[in-house]
Amino acid sequence: MKSYSDVFSALRREKRAALIPFFVIGDPDFDNSLALVKATIDAGADILELGIPFSDPIADGPTIQKADIRAVRSGMNVRRAMEFIRQVKQYRDIPIGLLMYYNLIGHYGTEAFFRDAHAAGVNSVLVADMMIDDAGEVLGPIRAAGLDSVFMVTPNTSPERMRRIAAKTTGFIYTVSVLGVTGSRDTLSDSVQDLVRRLKSLTTVPICVGFGISKPEHARAVADAGADGAIIGSRIVGMIEAHLDDPARAIAEVSAFVRQVKAALSTSG
């Protein structure tokens, strides 16, 4: 199974940042969600960030919250999400990070969840509502299952805390570009380049930037600041929402957009 370090080492040789699209598994339904993910892999995704839908996603803005509701209504649950991941991995060996809310993990059984996720082909699990100081609840089982750990750093995280987060992170640091929840934004936050540079001076763990990366030039800007990857969620999920009556069109638009981002990340800077 391809690891994050395989991907990040190869990309560093090519001097390129990873393109990481985010999807809610099962949005708008199992089959169309799978077709979207496969099309995105074909369009050049280097890593996938996938969310198992939760009823009350407090770190997410309205776009992803609505996707969570669509996916839950379509019958998505943790077991079917594991099957979804197996099918993605059968299509292509691409690293997969899961973005989760703790209640689903706790309910499934913490150890069983991480074990089953690893068996399905997941590389890492980020628990959006679990902070580093309480991470003991999940870190042991994450490591025991053979998964990488991913934690968030935000613009208001102190340097001392950044170091502690980096020390517990083996996959990549999910760097939140803005104070706020997920969502498309017209402009990239001015502070994100500075945040990436500060993190880079503290750790060698790969840095991927998310929240508000909505345009090819945003991805390019965080790559130029030294980020190892750009995570794009709400912009893509918004395209799915805009074409719920025409899934083929959603797939075409998402693919075209991902190709544009890939092109922006691939030109030499």
- Determine, following the binding rule CB under 8 A, whether residue 160 of this chain makes contact with another protein: no
In the residue annotation, 245 being an active-site residue is answered as no
- Determine, following the binding rule CB under 8 A, whether residue 210 of this chain makes contact with another protein: no
Segment interacting with another protein (CB under 8 A) among 28-36, 145-153, 199-207, 252-260: 145-153
Segment interacting with another protein (CB under 8 A) among 4-12, 125-133, 198-206, 220-228: 125-133
Of residues 18, 44, 5, 8, the one with CA closest to residue 210: 18
Q: Token pair of 104, please? A: 């689903």
What count of other Cβ atoms lies within 10 Å of the Cβ of residue 10?
Answer: 13
> In the chain, what is the straight-line distance between the N-terminal and C-terminal CA atoms, in Å?
31
- Determine, following the binding rule CB under 8 A, whether residue 139 of this chain makes contact with another protein: no
Neighbouring-strand partners of residue 229: 18, 208
- Determine, following the binding rule CB under 8 A, whether residue 133 of this chain makes contact with another protein: yes
- Determine, following the binding rule CB under 8 A, whether residue 102 of this chain makes contact with another protein: yes
Choice from 179, 242, 244, 256 touching another protein (CB under 8 A): 179
- Determine, following the binding rule CB under 8 A, whether residue 85 of this chain makes contact with another protein: no
Neighbouring-strand partners of residue 96: 48
Q: Residue 90: how many CA atoms within 13 Å on its side-chain side?
A: 7
Segment interacting with another protein (CB under 8 A) among 5-13, 53-61, 193-201, 240-248: 53-61
In the residue annotation, 49 being an active-site residue is answered as yes
Query: CB of 71: closest distance to another protein in angstroms?
Result: 11
What count of other Cβ atoms lies within 10 Å of the Cβ of residue 115?
Answer: 16
- Secondary structure of residue 76 in the 3-state scheme: coil
Contact (CB, 8 A) for 138 and 112: no
Q: Which residues contact 204 (CB under 8 A, 6 or more apart)?
A: none
| Residues 6, 55: Cα–Cα separation, whole Å | 34
Q: Which of 46, 60, 116, 148 is catalytic?
A: 60
Choice from 44, 106, 226, 247 touching another protein (CB under 8 A): 106
Q: Which of 27, 49, 116, 148 is catalytic?
A: 49
Contact (CB, 8 A) for 152 and 174: yes
- Determine, following the binding rule CB under 8 A, whether residue 142 of this chain makes contact with another protein: no
Residues annotated as catalytic (active site), given as ranges: 49, 60
Binding stretches for another protein (CB under 8 A): 54-56, 58-62, 65, 69, 72, 77-78, 101-104, 106-108, 128-134, 151-158, 161, 165, 176, 178-181
